[in-house]
A and B are shown apart, each in its own frame.
Chain A
Amino acid sequence: MNAKNPSHSMESCNENCANTADLSISTLIEGMLAENILSTPEKTERDLEVLMERNQEGDGWNEPTDQVIPSGYQQMVQQPVNRRTAVKIVAAGLLAGAGLFQTACSPFASAEAREKAQLNWEEYFKGNFRLMSDDEKEATVARLERLYELNTGKHLNISAANALPGVLYGYAFNISKCRGYMDCVRACINENNQDRKSGMQYITIHEHKKGQINFEHAEDDFYHEVPQEGHFYIGTQCFHCENPPCVNVCPVKATWKEPDGIVVVDYDWCIGCRYCEAACPYDARRFNWADPVIPEEEVNRNQHYLGNRLRKKGVMEKCTFCIQRTRTGKNPACVEACPTGARIFGNLLDPNSEIRHVLRTKKVFRLKEDLGTEPKFWYFMD
């Protein structure tokens, strides 16, 4: 069956899904385990405990936002009240001034055009999403929805839902089950409104020759029938590191780790310096080198501010574990699309979740663990 052909049958894989890992691979992994290269379930449990403790402590930024929070500008400035007020007045003055200017300069412009200009202006001067109060989040979402309506006549449903309490997302990938069908890749593109023109993908499926796990020798762009004899498949995407290098380097805090562990980007705050892309050891970040193109009928209208809402040129984007789905209790699109059941997603803080079962019972490992990035993305074999 062809890797790029979406219309494959489920049956063919079901026969193979039960297969355990190839003998040579398991021997190899056993050897690695003996040399203590890979994590054992016990070690993973220990790691998890550390992760959970850290999550409960919080680091100030990641605290759940149920308390009353001042406005974005105020939070940013963190100055005595008179200065706060001054900033607020300046901002309000700018907004009012812009409105007046628009009206004065375009007496013949339609009400719609004026509204659009006003909304664009307010959007330009809004603050960082993380610092917005819930009211401000609703306001910007309403503006974005209205702007889209003015531009296309179609309605969007953008969510600004915060992280659910007591949730820390984790992901596991079963190397023995993945057969390289790429259904996850296609589902991801459709779900997350990725640029069709450049063929942007968050997920890369690497085709490895059996007998070694060496990504340099793996084939990342295969256009042949899968599964290929003598090969196995490993998918990579954003690992949502607990210690993400990309977040550290951003000069404007446009990217951060949410309380539920998802590393997100505020597309309207990003200045496009691409430092995060250089800092990511996992090739997880994608830049909009041009204006993204998505056919109007293919746009996924169920969106999240930090997730699959439409991006513009010059900003960074990445996998968000389908934040628009997962925060409503659904699985990410890749997990749902995978016909072999190689992808497992769930709440690391729930001892009864499938992901915890995998971490408890399987010999799991993570990629480039030596860098200390603490990915929340594990690999295992049956």
Chain B
Amino acid sequence: MKVLIGFIKDAVISVTSGSLKYHIWMAFLTFLMLCGAYAYSIQIKNGLIVTGMSDGVSWGLYISNFTFLVGVAAAAVMLVLPTYILKDIDFSRAVLIGEGMAVAALVMCLAFVTVDLGGPARIWHLIPGIGLFNFPNSMLSWDVIVLNGYLFINLTIPLYILLWHYQGKEPKKAVYLPGVFISVFWAVAIHMVTAFLYAGLVSRPFWNSSLLGPRFLASAFAAGPALMILVLGVIRRNTDYWVEDITLNKIALVTTVAAQINMVMLISELFKEFYFPTHHSLSAIYLYFGLDGYDGLTRWIWPAVIMNLIATIMLTLHPLRKNPFFLKLACLILFVAIWIEKGMGLIIPGFIPGPWGKIIEYTPTWIEIVVTAGVWALGLFVFTLLVKIAIPIELGQLRFHQTATNQP
């Protein structure tokens, strides 16, 4: 108990002290969050009418971002798996960062789902016991369970490890290893369940495909580690926390293979939709080429496809992947490409054309964009806090003292 209080005190001190750069960064995120909160207050007051959504396209930017971030959260497993189970020592320094990333991504997921609700005040109806939970029929109820469960796992394992390191002790494998095993399966589950959320809808042929789940996994295991490489790059530059090049190279390899599989699946999807287009291919036709003069999504999907292709080629070529600059560039391109593909390129076209063939297009409003930016800022804020606590402990700068808890 004393340890925990000391830990919290030290953690608060650690996150509130830092370089000027750190303070500017946090102030910037806070500013974005406040902007998001203001935009959200307008949405609460007037209803979801202030968004670009309608009865035609009833999910938009929020659910798009939610879907993408589930993938980012799931990808933390790519780092957990080798570290704890394959005893691949290279990854141990990166893995805490990966789990922090998962926590931040999950916080964003839950925030995106909440801001998308028409009646956020009635969210308690979802709590089993006092509410009424449609389990196991509704895939959304599965999603609530797996996301919160995954959040719990990814909070407790790093907390245990950090608390023990904080006391200068070595964490017991028997305690955290079972949790790690569960989290490996759980990570696959969160992405599959989220894919099933869409794949289970017979009303939307664009989503009602058995490839949706596997493709979600492939793109997640490309986008997640790609973000990881970028984040580790920033951490290496700004702190003493040094992650070896060999670790980065291994993560890059994971990203590369996942990106290649994702491309194969994309080709498979395109073949099915366009070799002999049917009534069920209309959404894909709308997405890639426009339909009946409506082509609101073509300007999103083509850059995404091209960026995906470029990034995959860059990663596949060894000289480029081994070069830190090109690696980071490829990861950035890949990350953005998959963000578009999983967002504007997957959720929106599912609704177009509507069940009776009517085309209603969707463009996010400034309120949606600002709220989205606010939620991203929240995620980055949470991530920065977690890293700011974890790094001094891992570096041995922050240790528990019985008398004085005030350590730099």
Contacts and interface: CB of A to CB of B under 8 A. Distances in A.
Interface of A: 73, 76-77, 87, 124, 127-128, 131, 198, 204, 206, 214-218, 220, 236, 245, 248-254, 268-275, 277-283, 285-291, 313-316, 371-373
B53 interface: yes
Given A271-B126, A275-B140, A290-B47, A253 B134 contact: yes
Contacts of A127: 132
Nearest to A314: B118
Contact of A271 (B46, B123, B355): B123
Given A216-B353, A282-B356, A290-B48, 15 more contacts: A73-B130, A77-B129, A87-B129, A215-B356, A245-B203, A252-B126, A252-B132, A252-B134, A269-B122, A271-B118, A279-B203, A288-B118, A290-B47, A313-B118, A314-B118
B138 interface: yes
A252 B202 CA distance: 20
B201 A279 contact: yes
B313 interface: no
A269 B118 CA distance: 11
Nearest to A273: B117
A280 B355 contact: yes
B357 interface: yes
A124 B53 CA distance: 27
Contacts of A372: 202
A245 B357 contact: no
A128 B356 CA distance: 32
B354 A283 contact: yes
Interface centre among A87, A269, A270, A313 (most CB of B within 10 A): A313
B379 to A, nearest CB: 21
A275 B66 CA distance: 14
B130 A76 contact: yes
A124 B131 CA distance: 12
14 contacts: A87-B129, A131-B132, A216-B353, A218-B357, A252-B125, A252-B131, A270-B119, A270-B122, A273-B113, A280-B355, A283-B355, A289-B53, A290-B49, A313-B48
B139 A291 contact: no
Contacts of A316: 118
A295 B138 CA distance: 37
B356 A273 contact: no
B47 A291 contact: yes
Contacts of B59: 274, 278
A216 B46 contact: no
B202 A281 contact: yes
A76 B124 CA distance: 13
B125 A313 contact: no
Contact of A278 (B119, B123, B351): B351
A291 B351 CA distance: 24
Interface in B174-223: 197, 200-204
A254 B282 CA distance: 32
B356 A236 contact: yes
A287 B125 contact: no
Contacts of B197: 275
B141 interface: yes
